[in-house]
């Protein structure tokens, strides 16, 4: 299938491959983000190099599927190691992560550079990934070409993730948002935790060839974070993450091909640009929406303050002085232009009207003030039902 006819079959496959990377990483990424474990994902992706190298020592075959599971197992072991270190209470989580993964990563690079020169496992390629070459590694079953190995792997991973989530949606949701309650109800949050860590490891190994350990983190973290800014519901977060991730992957890959630069890095850049847009303009949680909300609150607060001021003095001997049109700003201790602006909006909103030289509250205005300070003394009996 060729969606981009100007590119030729190989580059088309590269585009699909990146889309598969994006989709397969976005799903476990949602849970990483919600559980505040993005940096654990960072650690896992770095140590996979060691996993791949060790598994390679055992099976001596760079194309073996055992490499895949060996690497994933090392990822899960890393999580266990980090948690074990934390449990000694001698160091905190961040320090444990910062200690364990550079160490295992170093071991990986060291072993790879000492013993694996000139083999299929090239250090630079393993570190940075090369989506450009990934399509060459094909998966054939019984002589039939099923497509690039990484694509089949990632597609499969994605389908398995979606099935698992559909099956265990309730359990996942509970364990993510309230692990305490989940434990009390007997849902075994530890099992869900390690299942998630395994998923992250599998997705990373599958994506490894195409994007390398660092950029895979962009796929784990950025799409779910964008989705989080756009919605609060878990289902929508999952769906949006996948859509946004695939959009970024396709755009980034096409851009990279156009500019003749690294595909994985460009996709990460596109993800960053998309995040910037969402961060600024998300309908509710965006920076702009937040600013508009602040201005609105500020205005409402000052209008209310004005009604309270007028309300307090309504019917007292000082009323004429306190609500004078040209002296209001002195009593409120505001500047003149500010007062004028607040008065203009309060009048427009029907909170007060002008009566000669004075401002008087309308019924709406009185109600607004009474919401804050309650009815005036002496009017309590009258206003009670």
Partner 1 sequence: MIELFFDPTLQTVAMGTAAIGAMAGFIGTFAVIRRQSLQGDAISHAALPGLAAAFLLGARSPVVLVLGAALAGWVAMALVGAFSLSRRLTFDAALGGTLAVFFGIGLALLTYIKKHVRGAAEHGLERYLFGQAATLRESDLWAVLAVAGVAVAVVLALWKQFQLLSFDPDFAAVQGWRVRGLDWLLTALIVLTVVIGLQAVGVVLMSSLLVAPAVAAKQWQHRLGPLSALAAVFGAFAGFAGTIGSHLLSEEGRTVPTGPMIVISATAIVGVSILWALVRPRLVRKAVRST
Q: How many whole angstroms from its chain centre is CA 226?
A: 5
User: Do 329 and 339 form a contact (C-beta atoms < 8 A)?
Assistant: yes
Q: How far is the CB of 271 from partner 1 (least distance, A)?
A: 6
Among residues 114 and 377, whose Cβ is nearest to partner 1? 114
> Could you tell me how many residues make up the chain?
385
C-alpha dihedral, 61 to 66 to 72 to 73, nearest 10°: -110
Among residues 123 and 305, whose Cβ is nearest to partner 1? 123
Contacts of 198 (CB under 8 A, 6+ apart): 72, 75, 76
Q: How far is the CB of 170 from partner 1 (least distance, A)?
A: 23
The pair of three-digit structure tokens given for residue 154, joined into one six-digit string = 């990632």
Q: How far is the CB of 218 from partner 1 (least distance, A)?
A: 3
Among residues 19 and 358, whose Cβ is nearest to partner 1? 19
Q: How far is the CB of 360 from partner 1 (least distance, A)?
A: 41
Q: How many whole angstroms from its chain centre is CA 87?
A: 28
Q: How far is the CB of 274 from partner 1 (least distance, A)?
A: 10
User: Do 53 and 191 form a contact (C-beta atoms < 8 A)?
Assistant: no
Among residues 175 and 270, whose Cβ is nearest to partner 1? 270
- The position carrying tokens 């109600």 is 367
The pair of three-digit structure tokens given for residue 313, joined into one six-digit string = 């003095």
Among residues 3 and 287, whose Cβ is nearest to partner 1? 287
Among residues 154 and 306, whose Cβ is nearest to partner 1? 154
Residues that bind partner 1 (CB under 8 A): 33, 36-39, 41-42, 46, 85, 88, 90-92, 94-95, 97-99, 102-103, 105-107, 109-110, 113-114, 117, 123, 127-128, 214-222, 224-225, 228-229, 256, 259-262, 264-269, 271-272, 275, 279, 285, 287
Contacts of 208 (CB under 8 A, 6+ apart): 45, 48, 52, 71, 126, 129, 216
Q: How far is the CB of 380 from partner 1 (least distance, A)?
A: 40
Where do the H-state alpha helices sit in 88-188?
93-115, 123-128, 131-134, 149-167, 169-177, 179-184
Contacts of 268 (CB under 8 A, 6+ apart): 215, 218, 222, 252
Q: How far is the CB of 369 from partner 1 (least distance, A)?
A: 31
User: Do 306 and 342 form a contact (C-beta atoms < 8 A)?
Assistant: yes
Among residues 196 and 264, whose Cβ is nearest to partner 1? 264
């Amino acid at each position: 299938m060729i969606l981009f006819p100007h590119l030729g079959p190989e580059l088309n496959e590269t585009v699909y491959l990146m889309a598969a990377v994006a989709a397969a990483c976005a799903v476990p990424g949602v849970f990483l983000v919600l559980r505040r474990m993005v940096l654990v994902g960072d650690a896992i992706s770095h140590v996979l190099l060691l996993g791949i190298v060790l598994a390679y020592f055992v099976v001596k075959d760079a194309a073996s599927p055992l490499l895949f599971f060996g690497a994933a197992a090392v990822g899960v072991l890393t999580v266990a190691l980090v948690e074990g270190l934390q449990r000694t209470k001698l160091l905190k989580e961040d320090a444990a992560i910062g200690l364990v993964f550079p160490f295992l990563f170093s071991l990986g690079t060291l072993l790879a550079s000492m013993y694996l020169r000139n083999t299929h496992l090239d250090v630079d390629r393993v570190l940075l990934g090369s989506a450009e070459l990934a399509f060459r590694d094909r998966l054939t079953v019984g002589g039939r070409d099923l497509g690039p190995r990484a694509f089949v792997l990632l597609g499969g991973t994605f389908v398995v993730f979606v099935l698992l989530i559909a099956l265990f949606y309730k359990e996942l949701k509970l364990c993510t948002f309230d692990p305490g309650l989940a434990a009390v109800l007997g849902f075994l949050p530890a099992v869900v935790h390690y299942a998630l860590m395994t998923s992250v490891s599998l997705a990373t190994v599958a994506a490894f060839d195409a994007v390398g350990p660092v950029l895979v983190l962009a796929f784990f973290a950025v799409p779910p974070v964008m989705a989080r800014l756009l919605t609060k519901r878990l289902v929508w977060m999952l769906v949006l993450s996948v859509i946004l991730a695939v959009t970024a992957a396709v755009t980034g890959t096409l851009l990279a091909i156009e500019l003749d630069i690294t595909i994985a890095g460009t996709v990460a850049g596109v993800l960053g640009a998309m995040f910037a847009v969402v961060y600024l303009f998300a309908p509710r949680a965006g920076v702009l929406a937040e600013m508009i909300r602040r201005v609105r609150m500020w205005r409402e607060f000052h209008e209310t303050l004005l009604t309270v001021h007028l309300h307090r003095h309504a019917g007292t001997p000082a009323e004429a002085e306190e609500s004078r049109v040209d002296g209001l700003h002195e009593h409120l201790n505001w500047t003149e232009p500010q007062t004028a602006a607040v008065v203009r909006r309060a009048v427009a909103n029907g909170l007060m009207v002008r009566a000669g030289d004075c401002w008087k509250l309308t019924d709406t205005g009185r109600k607004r003030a009474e919401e804050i300070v309650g009815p005036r003394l002496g009017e309590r009996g009258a206003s009670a039902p």
